[in-house]
Structure 1
Amino acid sequence: MPPMVIDLRRTEDARDVVHRAVQALAEGCCVAFPTETDYVIAASGRRDDAANRLASIVVPRAGEPVLSLALKSADEAIDWAPRISPTGRRLARRCWPGPVSMLVPDNHLESLVHRLPEASRACVVGDGRLRLRVPGHPLLADCMRMLPGPVMLAEPESNGSLAVTAADIVSRAGSVVTLIIDDGRTQYAQPPSTIELGDRGFRVVRPGVVGEEALRRLSSLMVLFVCTGNTCRSPMAEALFRVMAAERLGCEPDEIDRHGVVVASAGLAAWGGGPASTNAVEAMREMGGNLGRHESQPLTESLVAQADVILTMTASHRAAILAQFPEAGGRLMMLSPDRRDVIDPVGGSLDTYRSCARQIHGHLTARMDTLGIEPPDA
């Protein structure tokens, strides 16, 4: 029997499509969905019969799983790969949902993969690795939220090309698929970027939508300093951190981004585009930092989402950020390891700024070993 094809573009209520797709998946059927890159065929990870059908249409790649695991969000990655590297966590948070697949080690007894049925587990584990993906299409995301358990994905190919239309699915896997959700040609119509994570970095296994240089930038450690106006304390912290990180990395302060470290600062009540205070600029000059080009900026949702570590000058700054962005709690801390507020030098003399800068430097010295900045020969 040929698969049922539902044209999402002509559907009055997408919720009906979601419910129908979820029911089919729960019953062990294979359902084709559009993603931002290609059409994939999904099946419930709780159904061995569905896993075997999916596997039958995939040409295995050496050293890789037959099927991918689709996650609801980047937060789920640690459930399947508890030892995922810091680089992997950064890429997951910044790239997902999106056109990136990650090969991660399956080497932890607490991984949820060990709870899958035997056939499903055999299909999603290959050479001790899992391939994880968080597709960006909202319909598949809605279905995954409603379906208990994980979702497995197959990407049927023909002569090395992926399926980018519903018609491609019909011609390549129509005998396996029960339902096809047609949303026209996919957004990118090219493969997702597939990377393999290592202990300290990654390598590109198959190039795709996101280029290697972009992936390098997205994998960088981002440290964000926050104060009130972003003209005194947090800019000085940013400048001093840049100097101290450069010493560890063996480069110039303005080159640390090339070595995988990004630093920024912001203020809870900052106006955009303001310069650092004159005394802050002078205090930094004396300590080897440069604030001559600093422009203040307000703290934004985007900055909070991108930062790996958010260091605040005071307890009240931390509390204010936590109240507005509770999801950042695990990445948010005071600059002072012993939770002492950094004095606010605004309106003070140059000596006041010097004292503040020394306090910041001391706190940074205590923090540097915890930030994962390693010299090139580490």
Structure 2
Amino acid sequence: MRHMPRVIHVPPKDFDPSLLEEPAEILRKGGVVAFPTETVYGIGAVAKLPDAVARLSELKRRPEGKPFSYHLSDVSQVEEIAGAVPPMARKLLDRYCPGPITLVLPAGAGAERRDVGVRVPANEIARKLIALVGSPLLVPSANPSGEPPAISADEVIRYFGDELDAVVDGGTVLLKQASTVVKVDEQGYQVLREGIITREMVHQIFEGRRFLFVCTGNTCRSPMAEALFRKLLAEKLGKSADDLSELGYRILSAGTFAMKGARASEHAVEALRRRGCDLTLHRSHPLTLELLEEVDRVCAMGHANYEVVEILLGDLPPESRPRLEMLREEGFSDPVGGDLAEYLECAAEIEKALVRLLPR
């Protein structure tokens, strides 16, 4: 039968910070203390105290080579641990920190490991405790390997008993599931573990939700890209295409020299019919500044289209400009005037290129 560790009861909100002085002192002296975050309970040890970290590893029976993540009291401390923060990671920090997300970032110069996990919990008890300690903590979830994370102090005690020096009882946690873990470096991002912040939410932060595909006449390449992307995205999300707008997506196409109201070419309609898309209701739209202001991301189908969009974007203030890129570096040959085989080949190439735009 497990014995009781020291239990410090702290109200979830509007608490007296002095209630946390005792567990903070235990941590400063090399102890291990369990406390609530908004996701699950964690067990903390001061990162700069090797004996405390070794004890934490023993408690968690953590395999050698699998590091713990740092928990910080403020977002401004992330660069002290990780060094230079990649721009993509900065977007997640701005949107979700403090909050239920752990970022795996390139470690700073001289670090023993290539990557380091950092998290700034939203829970007031957790942040205040870390601040009182005055040093970053290493904090894994409070559960033995193979068991679900503890969501209350009672569960922590049942798991570890007096193997812990103290438990801060802040009640049952709010979210009751582990944080989302996202690895970010200069090459891109990868969702390593999905939590309440979903893969789709991460994808929206990086890629935006309003896409515009641009070709010349808006009767061949860009409407095929629009329809194919809508189909692929719906399949990826496990939704119907009609549900995408409710999720905040807007997928459009336009032409740099398009007339308004022209139908998609006959071969484009047939090529996409064979891929499960319907272009019969498509009507062409000319590219306008107003349309560019309404989207997050513009994918050009050819280099000439890219150049026209780039010129138009110069008339918009920087904060209103969408991201501009080639859908495929070499672009796509315009199949207008070609036979059905050329359209089928173009559609296949476009579909292949669209995959990189999907949530990972």
TM-score range, shorter chain: 0.5 to 0.7
Match of 1:155 among 141, 149, 154: 141
1:1-378 alignment runs, 5 A limit: 2-9=4-11, 13-60=15-62, 64-65=66-67, 67-106=68-107, 108-109=108-109, 114=111, 125=113, 128-158=114-144, 159-220=146-207, 288-290=288-290, 361-362=313-314, 374-377=325-328
SS for the counterpart of 2:171 is: coil
1:6–1:181 CA contact under 8 A, matched in 2: yes
SS for the counterpart of 1:56 is: helix
Spell out, residue by residue over 1:128-162, the C-alpha distance to the aligned partner (whole angstroms, 9 max, x if none): 32111111110111122232222111213343411
**Structure 2 residue aligned with 1:273:** none
Distance in 2 between residues matched to 1:20 and 1:174, nearest whole Å? 18
Distance in 2 between residues matched to 1:96 and 1:82, nearest whole Å? 17
With normalisation by structure 1, the TM-score equals 0.55
Amino acid of the structure 1 residue aligned with 2:290? N
Deviation (angstroms), 1:12: 9.0
Deviation (angstroms), 1:286: 8.9
**Structure 2 residue aligned with 1:229:** none
Identity of counterpart residues, as a percentage?
21
Distance in 2 between residues matched to 1:186 and 1:87, nearest whole Å? 29
Distance in 2 between residues matched to 1:12 and 1:95, nearest whole Å? 23
Higher mean C-alpha displacement, 12-21 vs 190-199? 12-21
Spell out, residue by residue over 1:319-371, the C-alpha distance to the aligned partner (whole angstroms, 9 max, x if none): xxxxxxxxxxxxxxxxxxxxxxxxxxxxxxxxxxxxxxxx9954659x69x99
1:363–1:10 Cα change, 3 Å? closer
Distance in 2 between residues matched to 1:373 and 1:64, nearest whole Å? 39
Distance in 1 between residues matched to 2:78 and 2:98, nearest whole Å? 12
Larger-gyration structure (1/2): 2
Deviation (angstroms), 1:57: 1.9
Distance in 1 between residues matched to 2:206 and 2:77, nearest whole Å? 18
Amino acid of the structure 2 residue aligned with 1:205? L
Distance in 2 between residues matched to 1:102 and 1:287, nearest whole Å? 38
Deviation (angstroms), 1:68: 1.2
Distance in 1 between residues matched to 2:178 and 2:12, nearest whole Å? 26
1:3–1:175 CA contact under 8 A, matched in 2: yes
Spell out, residue by residue over 1:35-60, the C-alpha distance to the aligned partner (whole angstroms, 9 max, x if none): 11100011112211111111112243
SS for the counterpart of 2:196 is: coil
SS for the counterpart of 1:43 is: strand
SS for the counterpart of 1:57 is: helix
When the two chains are superposed, the root-mean-square deviation of aligned CA atoms in Å is 4.1
1:87–1:200 CA contact under 8 A, matched in 2: no
Number of matched residues?
251
Unaligned 5+ segments in structure 2 are: 216-220, 234-284, 297-310, 330-360
1:73–1:190 Cα change, 3 Å? same
Distance in 2 between residues matched to 1:196 and 1:90, nearest whole Å? 13
1:288–1:210 Cα change, 3 Å? same
1:55–1:154 CA contact under 8 A, matched in 2: no
Higher mean C-alpha displacement, 211-220 vs 2-11? 2-11
Deviation (angstroms), 1:208: 1.3
1:32–1:180 CA contact under 8 A, matched in 2: yes
Distance in 2 between residues matched to 1:153 and 1:293, nearest whole Å? 43
1:63–1:371 Cα change, 3 Å? farther
Distance in 1 between residues matched to 2:195 and 2:12, nearest whole Å? 30
1:131–1:292 Cα change, 3 Å? closer
Amino acid of the structure 1 residue aligned with 2:120? V
SS for the counterpart of 2:88 is: helix
2:12–2:125 CA contact under 8 A, matched in 1: no
Unaligned 5+ segments in structure 1 are: 115-120, 223-241, 259-284, 295-306, 308-358
With normalisation by structure 2, the TM-score equals 0.58
1:153–1:376 Cα change, 3 Å? farther
1:109–1:3 Cα change, 3 Å? same
Deviation (angstroms), 1:90: 0.7
Amino acid of the structure 2 residue aligned with 1:129? D
1:54–1:176 CA contact under 8 A, matched in 2: no
1:290–1:188 Cα change, 3 Å? same
Distance in 2 between residues matched to 1:5 and 1:172, nearest whole Å? 14
